[in-house]
Structure 1
Amino acid sequence: MRRLLLIVAVALMAFAEPAAAPDRPLPDPAQEARAQALFRDIRCVVCQHESIADSPAGIAADMRRLVRDEVAAGRSDSEIEAGLVRRYGDYVLFRPPFNAGTLMLWLGPFLVVLVAGGVLLTTLRRRPAEAAPLTAAEEAALEKRLAERPDLDASSPHDHP
């Protein structure tokens, strides 16, 4: 029985997901502060709405470890960001660069405002103009025509059962 329990325990450990190594800050406080600043500018590729500083995802921990390794190796912030962009694409940055791939991301809000303004302006221009008041001659002609008509019942034909 013990042997069976040992085999089951070993099998479970073999298939279990390894625990993520805890975040270990860099020994140099200046480097750690730089790494922390980068963490806030880098998007978690799993959570997508959180920075890797705030994300509990395993990939975010891996990305934090990678950033710390790069900072410790003496790479600049732009080199570190460029490496992450090569690996994960422009989406990994909360402030992606202005290029052909991100053109709609940067200009899209302005285009939406311009299109909405154009539609609003067109709609307002197409509104019918108010009718001009009748002249005295038109008023007289209208009175004459109304006088010639037979007296109409004011009730609606749908009112009667």
Structure 2
Amino acid sequence: MLLRKLRSYDGLIEEFIDTSGGIPGLTPSYHDLRVVILDGKIIETYIRVPKPGSLISNFARGGTCHYYPLSKIPRKVREIAARVDRDFVEFGHRVYSIDFGFEGDTPYIIEMNEQPGLPFREHGMANYRRWHRSLLAVLRKAAHN
């Protein structure tokens, strides 16, 4: 019965990833971990945490953001991001993000974004400047190709 109904369903069904166990050493509960990549280099990593009682972690819905240096990000995430970027090299200059969720100690890709959000000044001017300088470097290279 369910399969019959799903055949005419115009939408996307995703497997649930239980992130309630957090990321060891970084966050104790529900989360998503965003990795921003510009031309193969991870330039920003942060964890978004939903407001209490919610599973949605984006800022517009009350989520909070916690920045971490790349050295604190689990090795498995860095390896997956590098593997993804190797597959994208053939497309030229790249600006995108990958959102991960951890179920236990296993990272899963939740989604990828071709237009990652720009950092807010409120999250620190050093991070804000680094992000924009990195983006400008990619745009300059693209303009000269």
Same fold (TM over 0.5): no
Higher relative contact order (CA 8 A, sep 6+): 2
Normalised by the length of structure 1, the TM-score is 0.24
Normalised by the length of structure 2, the TM-score is 0.26
Pick the structure with more helix per residue: 1
Pick the structure with more strand per residue: 2
